[in-house]
């Protein structure tokens, strides 16, 4: 079947990454977690002792940074040759990533890198601006949403798995702050593309989310094939 490019956007905790990863596995596609690239950049800013509010220093650092995603079963995030897959999930990175990713020049560098993806291989790309800015011609655009309470529950569970226990109120607050910053920044804010399909995952299981997207993907891939045959 023809290999397509699937863009999955939405706010934090909407189920994007888990779903995107599984959809990619099921189709034998490459999975690209663009949030991981912004996290890796934020990790480097913090590790270099730069104030994340210092835009020009963060941008200069970004021009001297190499970030690559290696998808060999489990996605590995490599920053200047070093594996930072786990380090980029820290609370400190999560708290600062919306600020660092709001810098236009940082975004331009990341978007340029994201566009190098060979879409002919078939890929699932998740982020905030994939359907609107990075790949406006994506074959399938999904916009995932979920209630804030459910998103907080998921995030709390994910944190708890890494040994971090936070009260749910704090998780809700952090999610709201990140949503606000991600959707009000000047350059490529989080928003649903006009032609994206919205999926509310509040009451869906992961398997159900994956099946819904796979069905759309198959429909589109078959449609492309039929067009080519005509």
Residue numbers at the binding site for ligand DC (CB under 6 A) = 12, 34-35, 38-39, 97-98, 101, 127-130, 178, 182
**Residue with smaller CB distance to ligand DC, 192 or 228:** 192
What is the closest distance, in whole angstroms, from the C-beta atom of residue 227 to ligand DC in the complex?
30
**Residue with smaller CB distance to ligand DC, 93 or 215:** 93
Question: Could you tell me which residues come within 8 angstroms of residue 165 by beta carbon, excluding any fewer than 6 positions away?
Answer: 159
**Residue with smaller CB distance to ligand DC, 111 or 217:** 111
What is the closest distance, in whole angstroms, from the C-beta atom of residue 229 to ligand DC in the complex?
35
**Residue with smaller CB distance to ligand DC, 27 or 106:** 106
What is the closest distance, in whole angstroms, from the C-beta atom of residue 50 to ligand DC in the complex?
17
What is the closest distance, in whole angstroms, from the C-beta atom of residue 177 to ligand DC in the complex?
10
């Amino acid at each position: 079947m023809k290999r397509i490019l699937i863009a999955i956007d939405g706010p934090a905790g909407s189920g994007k990454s888990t779903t995107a990863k599984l959809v990619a596995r099921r189709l034998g596609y490459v999975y690209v977690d663009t949030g991981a690239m912004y996290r890796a950049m934020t990790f480097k800013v913090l590790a270099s002792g730069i104030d994340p509010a210092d835009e020009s220093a963060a941008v200069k650092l970004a021009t001297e940074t190499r970030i690559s995603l290696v998808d060999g079963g489990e996605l590995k995030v490599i920053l200047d040759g070093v594996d930072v897959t786990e380090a980029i999930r820290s609370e400190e990175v999560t708290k600062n990533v919306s600020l660092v990713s709001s810098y236009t020049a940082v975004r331009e560098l990341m978007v340029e890198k994201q566009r190098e993806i060979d879409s002919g291989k078939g890929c699932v790309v998740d982020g905030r601006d994939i359907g609107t800015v990075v790949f406006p011609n994506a074959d399938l655009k999904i916009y995932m949403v979920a209630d804030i309470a459910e998103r907080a529950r998921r995030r709390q569970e994910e944190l708890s798995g890494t040994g971090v226990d936070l009260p749910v109120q704090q998780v809700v607050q952090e999610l709201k702050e990140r949503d606000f910053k991600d959707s009000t920044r000047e350059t490529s804010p989080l928003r649903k593309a006009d032609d994206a399909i919205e999926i509310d995952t509040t009451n869906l299981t992961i398997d159900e989310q994956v099946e819904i997207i796979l069905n759309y993907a198959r429909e589109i891939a078959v449609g492309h094939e039929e067009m080519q045959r005509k």
